[in-house]
Structure 1
Amino acid sequence: MTDKLIYVIDDDEAVRESLSFLLASAGLAVRTHESATEFLSAFDSRRCGCVVTDVRMPEMSGLDLLKEVKARDSRLPVIVMTGHGDIPMAVDAMKHGALDFIEKPFDDEVIISAVTAALGARDQEAQREAQLAEISRRHGSLSPRERDVLEQLVAGKPNKVIAFELGISPRTVEVYRASLMTKMQAASLSELVRMRFLMGPV
């Protein structure tokens, strides 16, 4: 996980140092910031990792920071830390896309588990994006007629009905279907249909 940075943002120096030590002890790379504005001034939306921020800070709150991170089209997961009286604010942060909130004082294992889960969720999202990009690339290699046949197959129509509706022979439908399976690298019709659904509207 050394290629990922955990950004710890809190105006309390003791909290920053404590969290930095804890997360570094768990093998994570950490960068600390004393304010949301300081973090944003050095912010790189392409960077992978996770943000752990206090929800109540001067100048700019954790909620406002969360909104700004999302506005910059960043996929960085955000975990907010909250005092007991700030629970409603933390819940509001969740509504705006925060992945989790941790109430202070927190157990070491709780924060490590939350950060690990956040990094895992981001990895899964990246894998889904890569998978979708590859499926879209394969779909782009299909001829217009192959795409027609694919849409009919996804609709659950048998070869004879597809042949009738497209004005071709059932044998030709089989040829297109075999070509589809090869180009889309699908091992079965169900996998082919699943790939098409993953793409959404085209």
Structure 2
Amino acid sequence: MPTPLVYVVDDDEGMLDSVAWLLASVELECSCFQDGAAFLEAFDPERPSCVILDVRMPTMDGFELFDLIRKRRIIVPIIFVTANANVPMAVKAMQHGSFNFIEKPYVPQDLLDLISQALAKSETDLQQRKQKLDFLNRFQLLSNRELEVLREVVKGKQSKIIAHDLGISCKTVDAHRSSIREKFNSTSVAELVNEVLTHKREWCEEL
């Protein structure tokens, strides 16, 4: 897993310097931007990260940038920061799916705690995305007949029942089951079924 990165997007240069210093004090790497477009161009989806995002900025404010992030399906925790907070603004931020909302001036440790939580979530999300991609890549290796057998295996059917339903021999079903386990690097049918059910959404879409 790559080292985590904190993106800071704020038109206030003093704010950027302050957050950069704070993160450096706990040995966290950060990348600072004074506008949303520059952030979008630099964002690395393969690296665990979070975004410290100012609400009020010229050209593109924080909510407009957040909308673009969502439209592009960028998965990253967003922590909104503003000096002009109010209840409706905070509610809007949380309803739109932001990770959290903090008001300036903030307690440095409070911001660091939020960043730590956001980075932990990002690492989990990134790991899950990698696992799903790995699953789908292996899924694509299956033949049509293996897909048919796998459907029945997931339903808990025994080889002789699958053979009868598909009109093939029990020996052929067992050969397909063995091939499926090999392609999924599964040591047992139980392990294979558990992985398939874990990625049930991807499984259903493919079928």
Fold shared, TM-score > 0.5 on shorter chain: yes
The counterpart of 1:41, out of the listed 32, 38, 42, is: 38
**1:185 and 2:185 are equivalent in the alignment:** yes
Aligned partner of 2:124 in structure 1 is: 124
State the identity as a percent: 36
Equivalent residue for 2:148? Answer: 148
Aligned residue in 1 for 2:168:
168
Q: Look up the match of 1:62.
A: 62
Q: Which residue of 1 aligns with 2:94?
A: 94
What amino acid is aligned across from residue 147 of structure 2 in structure 1?
R
Q: Is the 8 A contact 1:159 1:174 kept in 2?
A: yes
Answer yes or no: is 1:76 the counterpart of 2:73.
no
Quick check: 1:26 aligned with 2:16?
Answer: no
Secondary structure of the corresponding residue to residue 44 of structure 1: helix
Mean CA deviation greater in 7-16 or 130-139: 7-16
Opposite residue 138 of structure 1, the aligned amino acid is: R
> What are the ranges of 5 or more consecutive residues in structure 1 without an aligned counterpart?
none
- Tell me by how many angstroms 1:67 deviates: 0.8
- Alpha-carbon spacing, 1:33–1:141, altered in 2? closer, same or farther (3 Å): closer
Alpha-carbon shift at residue 175 of structure 1 (Å)? 2.3
1:117 Cα shift? Answer: 2.1
Question: Aligned equivalents of 1:69 and 1:141: distance in 2?
Answer: 33
Secondary structure class of the residue paired with 2:6:
strand
Deviation (angstroms), 1:132: 1.8
Structure 1 contact 55–80 (Cα < 8 Å) conserved: yes
The separation in 1 between residues aligned to 2:88 and 2:189, in whole angstroms, is 48
Amino acid at match of 1:33: F
Q: Residue 177 of structure 1: CA displacement?
A: 1.5
* Aligned partner letter, 2:70: K
3-state SS, counterpart of residue 88 of structure 2: helix
The alignment covers a number of residue pairs equal to 199
**Secondary structure of the structure 1 residue equivalent to 2:40:** coil
Cα distance, 1:33 vs structure 2:
3.5
